Amino acid sequence: MAEYENGVHLDEDENTDAGDDDRVHEWELGLPAIDDLTPLSQALISPELASAFSISPEPYRTVLDINRASKSTLEVLRGNPALSQGFSTNNNFKSFAESTRDPTDTEQEEPDRYDSQKSQRIESPEEADSAVRADNSADDPSAKTAKRPRLVWTPQLHRRFVDVVAHLGIKRAVPKTIMQLMNVEGLTRENVASHLQKYRLYLKRVQGLPGEDPSSSDQLFASTPVPQSLRENGGAHSGHGNGHLHVPVPRPYGATPIMPMPVYGMGHHGPGGNGPGYHGFKPNPYMASYTHPHPHPHPVAPNDK
């Protein structure tokens, strides 16, 4: 399937050597924010639909592969021939807005970036790429020993999280792996573990008891669709040798596309009247993959533990 796709093309009419970095930068700025794109984990068509129409299953590819690929792409774009590997600690996309920063800076740890302009958070890829902390007073450059400020799970981060977890499937979704695949600067395994714990609780709640008052649920979680790949399934991945065994039950569309309403953005307040209807997110082209909490939608091998 196509990856993040943007119909952007470069104009070749001008110089091609001199201000390359600038041009690349400019080009990058024109790209949609990472969160505006349909997530990699989200199949463009539902599995049911795919098999119903005999669409060849997408070759298995891990997010890791994709990350690596995009990294190479970026490096090629900026003419960096150093294509050595080793990604888990490298950040692919940063340095976007970093051209304005000190170019001699070699350090790239320490995820400290917090907007002093609280009212305007620009949605950009790097926003989700570095963990946003609530404090940036400590400047100990060593990532160890220094107590990191509490991680704030912004909608962007959570999105990424859900994305990765969905990709892995509930069984493979363990903190370390999630953390690696999320590839968020400064994000620790503990951070993920903690969030994962909570997320699992949330899933249990929601999948168990249908028809609940949305107001009683977490805003953050409620605003993110629960991928069907999380339905106590091994994760629809490489595992099966040849999967003709599935009984796809093609469900025609017109089902019940849920469009979770994002209501976050500002800090803690009750459901009182909020001023500006802050919407940071455009509706996602999610397919109707998740209708109502039906216990067993599909051919699911109860392959839990």
Instruction: Point out which residues bind DNA (CB under 7 A).
Output: 147-148, 150-153, 174-177, 189-191, 193-198, 200, 218-220
Q: Which is nearer to DNA, 218 or 232 (CB)?
A: 218
Nearest-10 crossing angle of helices 155-168, 189-208: 80
Q: Which is nearer to DNA, 43 or 220 (CB)?
A: 220
Coil, strand or helix at 264: coil
Q: Which residues pair with 133 in a beta bridge?
A: 151
> Shortest gap between Cβ of 151 and DNA (angstroms)?
4
> Shortest gap between Cβ of 154 and DNA (angstroms)?
8
How far apart CA 260 and CA 67 sit, in angstroms, is: 27
> Shortest gap between Cβ of 210 and DNA (angstroms)?
20
How far apart CA 120 and CA 15 sit, in angstroms, is: 34
Residue with tokens 């993920």: 192
Q: Which is nearer to DNA, 147 or 244 (CB)?
A: 147
Whole-angstrom CA distances from 263 to 42, 213, 272, 276, 289 are 22, 15, 12, 11, 22
> Shortest gap between Cβ of 92 and DNA (angstroms)?
21
Coil, strand or helix at 175: helix
Whole-angstrom CA distances from 204 to 17, 226, 231, 242 are 55, 11, 10, 31
Q: Which is nearer to DNA, 46 or 180 (CB)?
A: 180
Residue 183 makes CB contacts below 8 A (sequence gap 6+) with: 67, 87, 88, 91, 92, 129
> Shortest gap between Cβ of 222 and DNA (angstroms)?
10
Q: Which is nearer to DNA, 177 or 228 (CB)?
A: 177
Residue with tokens 């533990």: 305
Q: Which is nearer to DNA, 49 or 196 (CB)?
A: 196
Structure tokens at 15: 């110089």
> Shortest gap between Cβ of 116 and DNA (angstroms)?
20
Q: Which residues pair with 151 in a beta bridge?
A: 133
